[in-house]
Amino acid sequence: MAKKVYVGLSGGVDSSVTAALLKEQGYDVTGVYMKNWSQDLPGFVCPWKEDYQDAKRVAVQLGIPFKLYDFETEYRQKVVDYMVEGYKAGITPNPDIMCNQEVKFKLFLDTALADGADLIATGHYARIHDGKLLVGVDGNKDQSYFLYRVTEDALRCSLMPIGEYEKPEVRKLAKKFGLATAEKKDSQGICFVGKIGIKEFLLAELGEQPHGEIIDQTGAALGEHDGALFYTIGQRHGLNVGGGLPYYVVGKDMTKNEVYVTTDLQDKRLWSKILTLASSHWINGEDVLAGDLQVRIRYRAPLVAVKHLEKTGDQAWQLELQNEVRAITPGQSAVVYAGDHCLGGAIVI
C-alpha cells in the first residue's frame, strides 16, 4: 500500500511541485495549508487568503485531498513572541528557524501523523538521507541553514524532493505539471508577513520606541535613532547620520538606549574570530563534530573554516574561526557543516 504523505502546501511554486513530484512517485498525497498568520498590518494586507486559494487550486489540479490546519495561536506563541522578545532584548533572532523547529517539523508533523499520515513533505531546498540533513543541490537556494534545529526523528519522517533540483528546473516542472502557481513570484519579507519588513512589523507590534543617541567611535553624538531595537550589528542603511563615509552599527546599549557606530571598516568591534554559542542543537549528536568543519554565520553568507570547536557547558560552545568575520550578531545562528552535511548549530550570544 502507498505511503501517506501530507505535503505542506503554502500556495507557492516550490510546495506545489513537491506535491506533484510525490504523487508522480506513487505516494498517497494530501495537501495541507498551514494557517499560521492572518493579521493585516498598517498599509499591508496579509496574503493568506490568496495563498490558501492557490494551494487549494493546486490540490484540485492534482486530484488530491486538501486540508487546512489552523496553527495561528501556537505560531504566535512559539515564533512571533520569540522574535519580538528577542528584538526587545537587543538581539537579532531568526523567526524562520524557529518556525521550522516548532511549527513545520513539530506541530505540523505531530498533527499529520495523528491524522493518519506516514510522512510529511515540504518545499525546502535541502535533502534528507538516512536521518541526515544535506544541503540542496541548488547552492543559491539551499535552505539547510534554516533547518538546523530540526531533529533526526523529524527528518526520518520527512521528505524534501525539490532539494534535488535547481530552482529553474522547479519552475519548468511546475509548467510541465500545468500548476496554477507555475508563474507565481517567490514570497519575500519575513516568513509570516509577506511583503512587510521587520521594522514595520515591530512598529505594528510594539508601537513607537523611545529615541536615543547615535554615538560614533570618538564618543561624539551624531544624531538620534528611533529605537535601539531596530538596529543590528553591521547595519549600514537607515541610520540617517552624516554624509561622507558610511557608518556601520558596531553595538548598542539597550539600558542606555544608545546605538554605537563607526566609519572604520577595520574597527575591532566589527570583526571577530571567536564565537560564544548557546542553545546548541546537533541533529545527529555531538559525535559527528569532527574533521574539517565549516560554519555559516547568516543565510547565504560564505562558509568559513572552523579552527576549533569546544564544548563549554550543557548547550554552550566556543567556536574559533580560521579567519575573522564581520558583523557577528547576537541572536543569529551559527550553523556548522562537514561538506554537504549540515550537522546543526547554535545561537550566537
Q: Assign domain 208-262 to a CATH class.
A: mainly beta
Q: Assign domain 270-348 to a CATH class.
A: mainly beta
Alpha carbon dihedral 156, 158, 159, 160, in 10-degree steps, equals: -110
Percent of the chain with pLDDT over 70: 98
- b/e string for 190-229 if b means 16 or more Cβ within 10 A? bbbbbebebebbbbbeeeebeebbbbbeeeeebbebbbbb
Per-residue confidence band for 188, with pLDDT thresholds at 50, 70 and 90? low
Please report, for the chain, how many H helices and E strands are present, in that order.
9, 17
- Name the grid cell of 270: 566589527
Assigned fold of 4-176: Rossmann fold (3.40.50)
User: What is the average per-residue pLDDT within 116-136?
Assistant: 98
pLDDT tens digit sequence for 269-317: 999 999 999 999 999 999 999 999 999 999 999 999 999 999 999 999 9
Q: How far apart (Å, rounded) are the C-alpha atoms in residues 88 and 85?
A: 5
Q: Is 342 a catalytic residue?
A: no
Residue 324 CB contacts under 8 Å (≥ 6 apart), including other chains: 271, 272, 273
For the chain, the structural domain boundaries read: 4-176, 208-262, 270-348
Burial class (CB in 10 A: 0-12, 13-18, 19+), 238: exposed
pLDDT tens digit sequence for 17-55: 999 999 999 999 999 999 999 988 887 888 899 999 999
Q: Is 99 a catalytic residue?
A: yes
pLDDT tens digit sequence for 231-263: 999 999 888 887 788 999 999 999 999 999 999
36-45, 75-84, 147-156: which has the minimum mean pLDDT? 36-45
- So what's the pLDDT on residue 319? 98
Counting other chains too, the contacts that 284-293 makes at CB distance below 8 Å and 24 or more residues apart are 284/131, 284/132, 284/152, 284/343, 284/344, 286/311, 288/338, 288/341, 288/343, 289/336, 289/343, 290/338, 291/338, 292/338, 292/339, 293/336, 293/337, 293/338, 293/343
**E-assigned strand segments in 130-237:** 132-135, 158-159, 212-215, 221-225
Is residue 191 predicted with pLDDT exceeding 70?
A: no
- So what's the pLDDT on residue 304? 98
- So what's the pLDDT on residue 190? 63
Residue of 46, 99, 157, 342 marked catalytic? 99
What is the average pLDDT value for the chain, to the nearest integer? 95
Residue of 46, 157, 191, 342 marked catalytic? 191
- So what's the pLDDT on residue 193? 61
Around Cβ 1, how many Cβ atoms within 10 Å?
A: 5
Per-residue confidence band for 189, with pLDDT thresholds at 50, 70 and 90? low
- So what's the pLDDT on residue 240? 83
- Name the grid cell of 197: 519588513
pTM of this structure? 0.95
